[in-house]
Amino acid sequence: MSIVPYIIPLATLHFRYARERSIPDSLLLYTTAYLSALTLSPEEPHARLRDELAAGIDAYCGLLYLSQTPAVAAVQALDLLANFAPLGVLPSRSVSTQTIVVARGHIANALSVSRSVGLDINTRSDIWTWLSVCATSAMYKLEDWACCGCPEIFEARTLSDVLIGMVFSSDQPEYLAQTTLCDRIARLSIVFEALASFKDALQSSIENIFYDAQSMITKSLCSAKISFAATQERFKHMYGESQLFAV
């Protein structure tokens, strides 16, 4: 789970689960354990372990949706499911292709719960959880044909640009996951900025037949291309540094 910046060690999750037995902690533990167990052998007893964990995820996810328990652990668990089970199916699980749908409920509920527990740009703790939810939400919104913007991704970009300097000087093992998330946020914000410019240009052309929408869209594309190149170069250097901690 080194690619997820907010996940704490399994042993710590298990201790918290044993102490509190809350629905959010249970779902987070089972989900994290299942994803970690994917690296194990497909044979028994590991296959049976994954079956038991998958059953627990289904049960606790249903309970969480019914209870709507406000907790950071709930946000984290739902964000994991939105990222690793976007079609509502856990990795390596068999399912009929006729029943597959995009599981937008996970990220929608993650956003709802994050607001109820006060996660936002002013958060002093669990900031990586909020940033991850913003990035996941932005990716889902790009799949909508009538994408209507994503204001939270620009807030996330503002904060991640500040945090990246702190992360870059860090020697913690979470460095790679945090850097990767900041990279995703930077790229997503460029895409949404370009989309907003396209929509503004098209709207202006509707209101004014003499407005040169083509020139504005071309200008926006060139600006996005330059921003992408600068972002790629910036994070390429950081990823090189991260190999010090990925050995």
Question: 241 falls in which pLDDT band (50, 70, 90)?
Answer: low
Same domain, 52 and 65: yes
Same domain, 127 and 226: yes
Same domain, 112 and 3: yes
Same domain, 77 and 152: no
Domain count across the chain: 2
What pTM value is reported for the model? Answer: 0.85
Is 101 a residue whose pLDDT tops 80? no
Q: Identify the DSSP state of 9.
A: P
Residues 178/128, Cβ–Cβ less than 8 Å: yes
Comparing C-alpha atoms, which of 64, 63, 60, 106 is closest to residue 85?
A: 106
Task: Report CA dihedral (242, 185, 7, 165) to the nearest 10 degrees.
Answer: 50
- pLDDT, greater one: 23 or 17: 23
Domain final position from 85, 101, 118: 118
Domain final position from 61, 83, 118: 118
Q: What is the pLDDT of residues 26-69, one digit of tens each?
A: 999 999 999 999 888 888 888 899 999 999 999 999 999 998 88
Same domain, 226 and 182: yes
Is 199 a residue whose pLDDT tops 70? yes
Q: What is the pLDDT of residues 117-154, one digit of tens each?
A: 999 888 878 999 999 999 999 998 888 766 667 889 99
Give the per-residue pLDDT at 9.
Answer: 84
Same domain, 130 and 243: yes
Question: 162 falls in which pLDDT band (50, 70, 90)?
Answer: confident
Burial of 53 (0-12, 13-18, 19+ CB in 10 A): buried
Mean pLDDT of the region 9-15? 87
Residue numbers of the domain that contains 31: 1-118
220-227 contacts at long range (C-beta below 8 A, 24 or more positions apart)? 220/194, 221/194, 223/194, 223/197, 224/190, 224/191, 224/193, 224/194, 227/190, 227/193
Backbone phi, then psi, for 144, in 5-degree steps?
A: -85, 130
Mean pLDDT of the region 180-194? 92
Summary mean pLDDT of the chain: 85
Same domain, 226 and 244: yes
Same domain, 159 and 74: no
Domain final position from 63, 85, 118: 118
Please report where in the chains the tokens 């399994």 appear, as a residue.
10
Same domain, 147 and 205: yes
Same domain, 75 and 129: no
Question: 102 falls in which pLDDT band (50, 70, 90)?
Answer: low
- pLDDT, greater one: 170 or 29: 29
Give the per-residue pLDDT at 175.
Answer: 81
Same domain, 108 and 131: no
Output the six-digit token pair for 156: 């996330």
Same domain, 103 and 80: yes
